[in-house]
Structure 1
C-alpha cells in the first residue's frame, strides 16, 4: 500500500460532487482477504469524480446470480480457481456468450501462475486483462482501474450514440406529430449528453405559463431524458429544482439562457407563446463555447419543433 498513485486526479479543480453515482465493481474470489485488500486499496479511487461501489461474490455461481440481477457493473475482477479449476473462465464465457454483455470489463486474476498460459487465455476468452495476484500491487491495481473504467466509459458513450441515432432515424419519418418530435428530441439529447458529459443524467422539460413569481408551483413535465430520468418520460421531474436559479434565468428576459451551478446545467428557452423549456443536466465538469452552442441549438430547435407540432395538430383538428 506504499506505492504512490500513477495518475493524478483528472482536473481536480472541477472535481464532481461526492454524491455522483459510483462505478459498480464486482469482486469474485473465494478468498475473503482478496476482497478486503482490494477494497482498501481502491477506497479513495475516483474517475470523473465518481467513486467505486464494491459488490462481492465468493463463487462462480454467486457471481452469475448477481450479474443476472443487475446489468450495470462496469468491471469484474474475476478469480480463475474457485469451486473448481476453471470456474472463473466459465463465468467469463457465460458473460459474453449467454448474457451477451459486451460492456462490462473482465479482468481475470489467478493465484496459481502458469496454470494456463496468458496468451492462450486471452485468445480463447473475450477478456480485457489477465493478471497474477502477486503482480497486482497498489500502483498496478490503480492503473488497471483507470484503463478498464475509461474503456467502459467510452463503450457506454458509443452505445448511447447508437441508441440515439436509432431514435432519430425512427422519428424522421413523421416530423409533424408531437410523439415523433419527442422521439427526435430524445435521440438528440442522448447524443448531446454523451458528447458533452460522461455523466449520463439529463432531463428536458416543458413548462406551461411559467413566470418568476409562480415558479415554485410550476410542473416540469419530462419530454426527453437520459440515465435514471429516462424511465420518467411523460411524468413530472421529481428532482429538486432550485427556484432561485429559474427565477434568475427568467429575469434575464432572453429567449435562451443558462446557468451552471455545482456541476448542474440549467438551460431555459422561452417561446413567443409564453411557454418555457428547461434543460437540466447533472454532472457537467466543464462547458466549452462549442458545447454551449450545441445545447442552445438543441433548446431552440426542439422548442420550435414542438410549437409547430402543436399548431399543426390544432389546425388539423
Structure 2
C-alpha cells in the first residue's frame, strides 16, 4: 500500500500527550485499530501518520485483542471510528466485539469498519445485514486514498451522532431532575423542537403533530395508523397528544400519511407535509411528522424540508436507541419493573430528610441456584414472579419494587407504611403455586433503617444490605434488622481477608497435627493435619479465618499448602519408622480445580509419597453439594490408593442412594453428637444409626471431639473403635508430635 501526494498530513508530534491537542487547540479525532496482524497494523499507522481531517489531527489508538479493545472503548468514550480485524483470537472474535460494543456497552455512535483477508461477498452481505457495521472491506482492496475518504465520511457521521447524543443526554438529565415524568419525555421534547424548526424552515406557524408507532412493517398501513400515538403537537393541536391517530387527524392527513408509510419516504402536497423517519429496527419503530401549512408549499420549501429531514433523521434513530438503552439500564427485562440501577439512582436522589423517614427492605430467595438446577429455569422464573406478586400484596401501589439481583428484590418505603413484622413472617414461608403445585418461598429479609445510612452512597447502602443477608443466614434468621454494628463486622471481615492474604505471603500459617487412636488398645493409627494462623502472637481460630478464605477464594491456596505439609510429615514419619497416614481437609472448590487435583495425582504417580499414607477429608455437605461431579473425582483419588473420609457425618442430610455409592473408605461422626452422647438420647440414637449404617456399607468409623472417658466407653460399647479428641491429645506441632510418639504405642 502507498499513500498519495495530495493527502493532508499534520506535523509529527512525537508523544501521545502532544497529540491530544494541535497548535490551534483542536482535540484530535480518535481512531481505534483492533488488529491481529501486527505488520498490517504498522502499515496502517505509517499510512495514516499525521493525517488531518477538517482541520483536526487524527490520533490512532492500537490494540491487538478484542478484550483490550473493549477496555479501550470504556477508557476512551470519544473514539469515532474502529478499524476492526474480523478474525482475531477466533474466527468470530471481531463479530462478537461488535455485539459487545452495540448491545453490552450500548455504544451506537462509534462507526465500525470491518477488515478481513477473506474475499467472501456472501459473508459480507450477511454480516452487514445482521450486525450494526458501517463498512466491510477486504484488506487487499483498501488503498489509503479510499481509506482516507471513508474515514472522513464516518468521522463526520460520528460527530453528528455524538452532538445529538449529548443533546439527548441533556434531556435525560432533565428527566432525572424532574423525577416523575415518563420515559417519552425525551422524544416529546425533541419532536416539539422539530415542529418549531419546521415552522422556521417554511416561514410560517404550522399546524402539526408527530406520531410514533411500534407496529411491525408486515402489518397493513391502516393498522399501523390505527395504533400510532401522537407524542407531540403544535399549540393549536395539543388536544391530540397522547391519543391514537383518530378520524379527525385522518381527515386532514390520512392520504398523505398513508403514502408516506407505504413508501417509507417523505411526502408532500400543496399544503401538507409527511416526513417519515425510521426509529429502532429492533423495536420495529417509526416516526411520522405531519404538518399543515397556512400557505402553499413552494418547491423551495419542499427542498428545504427534505434537506432538513435528512439532517434530523439520525436524531430520531439516536433518541430511539437512547430511550431503549435507558430502558435496558433501568428496567428488569423479565418483570418490566425497576432494577438495581434505578434503585441506585433513587437512593442517590433522596434528601437526608427523606432518608431519615425511610426504610429499605430487601427480599432474597434461599437456595435459588439449587432450585434452578433441580427444577429448571422456567420454574425459577415462575418462582420469581410469584415472589414479586407476594411482595406487591404487602405494599401500597405508591411504592415501587425493584429487582436488584436475579433472586433479590428491594423496596424503599416510609417507616410509617413499612410492613409489620407479622406480615413479613407470613411472606417468608408463603407458598407460591407453580403449575398447580405449591412451593414455599423460603426467604431471607433484611430491614434497613435509612437513618443509619444517611451519609452513605447508594452502592454502599446496597452492599451493606446484601452483606446483611449473609449475616442473617449465618445467624439462621429469616428476618434481620440492620444495625451499625454490622458495618463494623463487615469491615473487620474485610480487614481479616487482607491480613490473611498477607499472612500467606509472609508464611504466618502453619500446620499442626492431632492423633487418631484405636480405642481398644490405645495405639496411634494416624494423624489429621490442621491449619493454624498466628498473627502478632495471637492465635486466630480456624472457625474464623476458614470461612473468610472460602468467601475470598483463598481456600484452595490454603488447602494446597496443607497437602504439601501432609506429604512432608508422612514421609518424615515413615523415615522415623512410623507408617502413620496423614489426613488433610479439602473442599468442592479444591476438587474442581484441575491444578489442585493434578498436584495430588502427580505427587503420588511420581513416587513422592506412598498413597496409603494419605487420607482426604471432605465434609458430608461438601461431598453432597455437587455429588455427580465430586464423587467421580473422589473415586479417581481412591483408585490411586488415597483413603477418603467423610467428615462431620450426620449433619449434611445425605441421600441414602448417594451413600451407597459414596467413594469413601471411612466416615467421621460429627463432634456435636459426641458432645451430648452421654446426656441426650437423640445424640445417642444418631450415633448408633451412623455406626450401623457404616457397618452396613463397609465404612470404618471415626469419632471426633472425644473429651471424656464416658464418651469413649459409650462409643466402644456401640462398636466405634477409632477416636480423636482432647482426651487423647491436643493438636501439636511436628516436633512435639515426634517426642509424643516416643511415649505412645504405635
Q: TM-score, normalized by length of structure 2?
A: 0.21
**Higher RCO, 1 vs 2 (CA within 8 Å, ≥6 residues apart):** 1
Q: TM-score, normalized by length of structure 1?
A: 0.47
Which structure shows the bigger proportion of residues in helix conformation?
2
